[in-house]
Amino acid sequence: MKSYNPKEWSRFLLSVGKADTLRKLFPLLVVVAAYSWGIAYLEMEVFRLSATSNFKNISLLHTLLGFALSMLLVFRTNTAYERWWEGRKLWGSLVNNSRNLAIKMNALLPHDDVQNRRFFAQVIARFVFELKTHLQLEETRYALDEEPHPEIPTFDHNKHVPNQVSSIITSRIILLYNQQKITAEQMLFVNGEVSSFLDICGACERIKNTPIPYSYSSFIKKFILMYTLTLPIGYVFNLGYLVVPVVVLVFYALASLELIAEEIEDPFGKDANDLPMQKIVENIQKHVAEILI
């Protein structure tokens, strides 16, 4: 995820980054421009249709459908951003709970118990790292897919690394209790943070492997395409060849909203606008080590 100053307008207007929708849509924009020019040429030069033609009434249809399309795109982007923001809140909770568990174990363990201190410093950071890796695997994304995926040979429902790391943490705490190094009350004292690890993992998996319903996403893409391809048919009588840049601009605006929603609806990927999980992992590892070691 890239940090930026939202007040630097010149930077946004003059630069085109690799995540910019203009770069991704450029080939399609060229196709839409060529198509719009072709429609304008056919209507004005070949068939010589006049402004009294029935084709001009198509613009009325676009006025009605434009409102419906705008509402769909608003809902689409809001839903995608909600998923992105929920993912950020979950990883924020993971940061806090990792620190809290480290602080509590620091208070419970003697200063000369180097072995256990180093163990918890390593295993807490290991859980966060394994959760990041788990969420970025294709196996996790397809976990609830009804279709088989033979292209993923390592798909194994019997292995869940975050579960194993969390189990190791719990087992070590119980071992400390059996060795009478901590009391039952102290074991319950740290139980909340330990349990929260898998709660966060499950919530992240819910976002990861439950995408926006396919029919909804497919319908929006088809709606945008149909809306754009019929624009020059009706508006060419009012705009002439100016319909070419107008249609390109409309398509850019609508398709960009859909592209942005596609990118942020899965906040655990590796796109430019996804969550900076690697940086969060490094920060947790650093802070937990500072507390315990």
Report which secondary-structure segment, H or E, holds 217. Answer: helix 214-239
The pLDDT confidence band at residue 154, using thresholds 50, 70 and 90, is: very low
Mean per-residue pLDDT for 59-67?
80
Residues 6+ apart with CB under 8 A from 213: none
Instruction: Give pLDDT tens digits for 77-94.
Output: 999 999 999 999 999 999
Q: How many CB atoms lie within 10 A of CB 46?
A: 8
Q: Which residues have a Cβ under 8 Å from the Cβ of 13 and sit 6 or more positions away? A: none
Give the residue, 14 or 291, on which the prediction is more confident: 291
Find the radius of gyration of the CA atoms of the chain.
27
Calculate mean pLDDT across residues 235-250.
Answer: 90
Residue 54 is classified by DSSP as G
Name residues whose C-beta falls within 8 Å of residue 291's C-beta, 6 or more positions apart in sequence.
Answer: 99, 102, 103, 106, 121
User: Where does residue 24 rank: exposed (0-12), middle (13-18), buried (19+ CB within 10 A)?
Assistant: middle
Domain map of the chain by residue range?
A: 88-144+157-211+269-293
